Amino acid sequence: AARGCGGVWRRAWQRGAGGPSPAPRGQRAVACNARGGAVPAGKSGLAPWEPVVGLEIHAQISSSSKLFSGSQVQFAAPPNSLVSFFDASLPGTLPVLNRRCVEAAVMTGLALNCSINKKSLFDRKHYFYADLPAGYQITQQRVPIAVNGSLSYSLCIDNKMSQMVTKTVRIKQIQLEQDSGKSLHDDTRSQTLVDLNRAGVGLMEVVMEPDMCCGEEAAAAVRELQLILQTLGSSQAVMAEGQLRVDANVSVHHPGEPYGVRTEVKNINSIRFLAKAVDYEIQRQIEELESGGTILNETRAFDSKLGCTVPMRDKEGKQDYRFMPEPNLPPLILYDAKSLPANMNHQQVVNIDLIHERLPDLPSVKRAKLVERYGILPEHSFTLLNEDGLTEFFENVVKQTQMKPKKVIGWILNDLLSYLKQHSLTVKESPVSSFLLADLLNLLEKKEISSTAAKQVLAELWKGEGKTPLEIVKEKKLELIQDQKELEQICQAVIDGQENE
C-alpha cells in the first residue's frame, strides 16, 4: 500500500496565490510531506490523490558468459560478434544454464531478504520481435528463484541532508531471464538493423511492489538497489550502459477506494529521469481523471527531452505470451547445508548457505559501520557511499591526519565534493589527492593556518600545479602568526594608523 499521507496537499495547494491555478505541465512538483510521503496537489482540492508506484527492474548479471550459452558478455563490442549458435536460435541448439548467473541471483535474493526457492522453473514467453531470435524468451514465470524480500532505503526531507527517513519496499520476486538483442531502426533506408550481442545475456528481474508513492521514493529505492548490486558484484548496474533498466508502474486513486488503472512507463535512462518520469505520469493521470477522462492500461515511453510520457507505438492491445514450461531445462535445484547430499559433486551444485556466508557487507551495514567508527552523521554516510570512491578517499584522509573524522567529513562533503560536482569530476579524477588534503588539514589542525587560509590553499590546490600545501602557504604568506609579541606590534601599528586619521 502506498505510504503517502494526506494533509500536506492542502498546504501545497494554498501555496499558490489566490486559488488553484494549474502549473504548466511537467513542472508542478510533487511535494513530499514530513514523513516522506508524496501528496500531489489536486486541482479541485476536494479529494486527495494517493499515487501508487511499483517498479520492474532488469539488472544485467555480471558474468563472463551468457545465461544459457558460452558467448562472451561485453559492452559495445562490434555488432554480432558475440553470438553463439544458440543465441542466434539456430535449429537444434539447446540452452545450458550458467552457474555464475544462478549464484548472482541467489546472492541478490539473500541481500534483499528474500526466500530462495530451492526448486525453481524455467518457462518460455512467446512473442515475435526482430531482437528475439527464437520467438520466445526463456524466463521464470511460474516459480522464480527468489520471492518475498524487502529493500530499505532512505530519503532526505526538505532536500537538505538534515533529516533522513527510512522506508521499505517489498520485493515481490527475483527471476532469471534472457536479455534480448538490440534493434536499430533506420528510417531513411526503411530497414531495421539487428545486433544480437546482447541476446541471451543473463538478467535478474527484480519486481518491487507498489509501495512507493512518488518519483523521489522510486529513485531512492533504485539507487539503493544499485549500490547493493554493485557491492555484491552480481551486476555492475550502470544505467548508462543498459545494465540496469527500470520500468515504472504508476496509478492513482483516492484513499479508501480501489487502486486505479495503471500505466507502465518505459525508456527511462537514468535515476534522475526515473523521478521525473514517475512524477510526470502521476500528474498526468491526476489531471486526466480530474478533467473527467480515463486512464488506459497502456505502456508509455518517457521522452527525456520533453520531460513527459507518450504512448508507445508498437504496444497496441494486450499480448498473450502463451507461457509454456521450457522443456529443455530441468527444474533448477539449489541446496543448503542441510539438504546437500553427501556424495554430490560440489562443482555441480549451488549451496545457498555457502553463498550466504560469503556475502560482503551491504551498503546499510557499511554505512552503520562508518557512523559508529568515525562518529559522523547517518546522512554523511549516505553521501559517502553514494559517490564512487568517496568513502575510500575519506578513510585515507582520516588515516593520514590528526584531525578528528567529524571535522574531516565537513571538508570532504562541503569542499571536496562540491568542487568535484561543479567540475563534473569523479573522485578518482580529483586533482587533490587524499594525501594532499590530509597534509592541508594537518596544517590547520596544528594551528599553523586559519580555516579561511586553508580554504584559500585548497582553492590553489585545485589548480593541480603540483605544489604542496606548505609551499602554497609560504608563497601566499598565509601562516598564522603565533608570536605574541609580533601580534602586539601589529595591533599597535593598526591602532596607531587609525589614530592618525
Cα 128–chain centre separation = 31
- Pick from 2, 8, 54, 1: nearest CA to 31: 8
Position 81 contacts another protein (CB under 8 A): no
Q: How far is the CB of 217 from another protein (least distance, A)?
A: 33
For residues 239 and 58, what is the distance between their CA atoms, to the nearest angstrom?
10
| φ, ψ dihedrals at 474, nearest 5° | -65, -45
Question: How far is residue 33's CA from residue 459's CA, in Å, rounded to a whole number?
Answer: 39
- When binding is defined by CB under 8 A, the residue of 34, 96, 481, 494 that contacts another protein is 96
Closest CB to another protein among 344 and 495?
Answer: 344
To another protein, the closest distance from the beta carbon of 312 in angstroms equals 16
Which one of residues 28, 66, 124, 223 is an interface residue with another protein (CB under 8 A)? 124
- 406 near another protein, rule: CB under 8 A: no
Q: For residue 214, give the 3-state DSSP assignment.
A: coil
Contact status, residue 403 vs residue 441, Cβ threshold 8 Å:
yes
For residue 49, what is its C-alpha cell? 490523490
- What is the smallest separation between the CB atom of 384 and another protein, expressed in angstroms? 45
What mask of x and - would describe binding to another protein in positions 132 to 171, judged by CB under 8 A? -xxxx-----------------------------------
**How far is 456 from 479, CA to CA, in rounded Å?**
12
- If binding is defined by CB under 8 A, does position 327 make contact with another protein? yes
The SS3 call for residue 187 is coil
| Stretch in the footprint of another protein (CB under 8 A) among 86-94, 270-278, 387-395, 467-475 | 86-94
The C-alpha cell that represents 419 in the structure block = 568542487
Shorter beta-carbon distance to another protein: residue 192 or 450: 192
**187 makes contact with another protein (CB under 8 A):** no
| Residue choice 320, 483, 496, 499 for contact with another protein (CB under 8 A) | 320
Pairwise CA distance, residues 385 & 395, whole Å = 12
Question: Which residues in 428-447 contact another protein (CB under 8 A)?
Answer: none
Stretch that binds another protein, among 210-218, 319-327, 425-433, 481-489 (CB under 8 A): 319-327
Kindly write down the DSSP assignment for every residue of 463-489, as one continuous string: T--S--HHHHHHHHT-PPP--HHHHHH
Contacts of 389 (CB under 8 A, 6+ apart): 426, 427, 428
359-381 core/surface letters (b: 16 or more CB in 10 A; e: else): eeebbbebbeebbeebebeebbb
Q: H or E stretch including 405?
A: helix 405-410
CA distance 241 to 235: 12
Identify which of residues 36 and 95 has a Cβ nearer to another protein in the complex.
Answer: 95
Residue 191 or 450: the one with the smaller Cβ distance to another protein is 191
The reply on whether position 328 binds another protein by CB under 8 A is yes
Q: Is 322 in the site for another protein (CB under 8 A)?
A: yes
Minimum separation from the CB atom of position 142 to another protein (A):
11
Q: Which of 190, 135, 62, 89 is nearest to 324 (CA)?
A: 135
Rounded distance, CA 242 to CA 470, Å? Answer: 46
Q: Based on CB atoms, which residue is closest to another protein, 67 or 225? A: 67
The residues, any chain, with a CB within 8 Å of residue 47's CB and separated by 6 or more, are 254
Q: Which of 11, 23, 85, 487 binds another protein (CB under 8 A)?
A: 85
Per CB under 8 A, the list member of 92, 256, 258, 466 interacting with another protein is 92
CB 301 within 8 A of CB 312: yes
Q: Which is nearer to another protein, 130 or 371 (CB)?
A: 130
Nearer to another protein, 94 or 494 (CB): 94
Nearer to another protein, 54 or 181 (CB): 181
- How do 164-178 and 146-156 pair as beta strands? antiparallel
Query: Considering beta carbons, is residue 137 or 173 the nearer one to another protein?
Result: 137
- Contacts with another protein: how many residues (CB under 8 A)? 30
Query: Min. distance of Cβ 198 from another protein in angstroms?
Result: 15
Closer residue to another protein in complex, CB, 99/421:
99
Residue 329, interface with another protein (CB under 8 A)?
A: yes
Binding flags for another protein, 264-303, as an x/- string (CB under 8 A):
----------------------------------------
* Euclidean distance between the first and the last CA atom of the chain, given in angstroms as a whole number: 74
Closest approach, Cβ 330 to another protein, in A, equals: 6
Q: Least separation, in Å, of the C-beta of 320 and another protein? A: 5
Residue 37, interface with another protein (CB under 8 A)? no
**Among 324, 481, 491, 495, interactor with another protein by CB under 8 A:** 324
437 phi, psi to nearest 5 deg: -65, -40
Q: What angle do CA 385, 223, 234 make, to 5 degrees?
A: 85
At 473, the amino acid letter reads: V
- According to the binding rule CB under 8 A, does residue 89 interact with another protein? yes
Indicate whether 192 belongs to the interface with another protein (CB under 8 A): yes
Q: Are 20 and 176 in contact (CB under 8 A)?
A: no
Q: Which residues bind another protein (CB under 8 A)?
A: 85, 88-97, 124, 126, 128, 130, 133-136, 192, 194, 196, 320, 322-324, 327-330
